[in-house]
């Protein structure tokens, strides 16, 4: 299996995982986030397919990430009742590990790219995968926080952006 086939399979596997997580999501906003992540993986697949075929490729930024931040902000204010099973939280961790492996692979490929435009594509997709990591980290924190955090006036956070 060549490199492009390998990364295209990774992206398809990621898309399938996110589609499944969207179906299981305990809240509409969370389902929306997983659908967005799945769509992003599909875009990456298409980018790698074009690269494999030797076609010209451009990776554009995605403004939807701002909307996801708004969803998290809404959760902090309204705190919906989310009670995912331990296996669901573990699926989120599995998705996070997949994103981390993708970032490492894409950054490594950027170092080996012979053409500057290909190096730029690898780095842009790695940066997008890093954004996916942050989204998943926030989801994991959100769904697991009740298991390890006690709200109490005695305790405070030293960092203003603790939840971000």
Give SS3 for 11.
helix
The pLDDT tens digits of the residues spanning 133-146 come to 988 888 888 777 76
Measured CA to CA in angstroms, residue 57 lies from 93, 125, 138, 162 at distances of: 31, 12, 31, 38
Question: What pLDDT band is residue 151 in, cutting at 50, 70 and 90?
Answer: low
Kindly report the average pLDDT of the chain as a whole number. Answer: 79
* CB-based contact 84:143 (threshold 8 Å): yes
Per the confidence metrics, is the pTM higher than 0.85? no
The pLDDT tens digits of the residues spanning 17-54 come to 999 988 988 777 788 888 989 999 999 999 999 988 98
Hey, what domains does the chain have and what are their CATH numbers? 3-148 (1.20.1260.10)
Cα 144 → chain centroid: 17
Question: What pLDDT band is residue 117 in, cutting at 50, 70 and 90?
Answer: confident
The pLDDT, as a whole number, for residue 29 is: 77
Q: Using the predicted structure, report yes or no on whether residue 100 has a pLDDT greater than 90.
A: yes
Question: Among the ranges 59-68, 137-146, 149-158, which has the highest mean pLDDT value?
Answer: 137-146
- Whole-angstrom Cα distance, residue 133 to residue 76? 19
């Amino acid at each position: 299996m060549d490199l492009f086939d390998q990364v295209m399979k990774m992206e398809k596997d990621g898309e399938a995982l996110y589609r499944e997580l969207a179906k299981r999501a305990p809240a509409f906003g969370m389902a929306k986030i997983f659908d967005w992540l799945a769509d992003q993986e599909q875009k990456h697949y298409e980018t790698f397919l074009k690269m494999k075929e030797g076609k010209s490729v451009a990776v554009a930024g995605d403004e939807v990430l701002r909307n996801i931040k708004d969803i998290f902000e809404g959760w902090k204010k309204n705190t919906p009742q989310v009670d995912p099973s331990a296996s669901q939280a573990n699926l989120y961790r599995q998705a996070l590990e997949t994103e981390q492996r993708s970032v490492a692979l894409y950054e490594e490929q950027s170092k080996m790219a012979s053409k500057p435009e290909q190096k730029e594509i690898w780095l842009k997709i790695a940066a997008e995968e890093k954004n996916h990591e942050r989204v998943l980290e926030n989801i994991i924190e959100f769904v697991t926080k009740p298991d390890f955090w006690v709200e109490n006036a005695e305790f405070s956070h030293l960092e203003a952006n603790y939840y971000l």
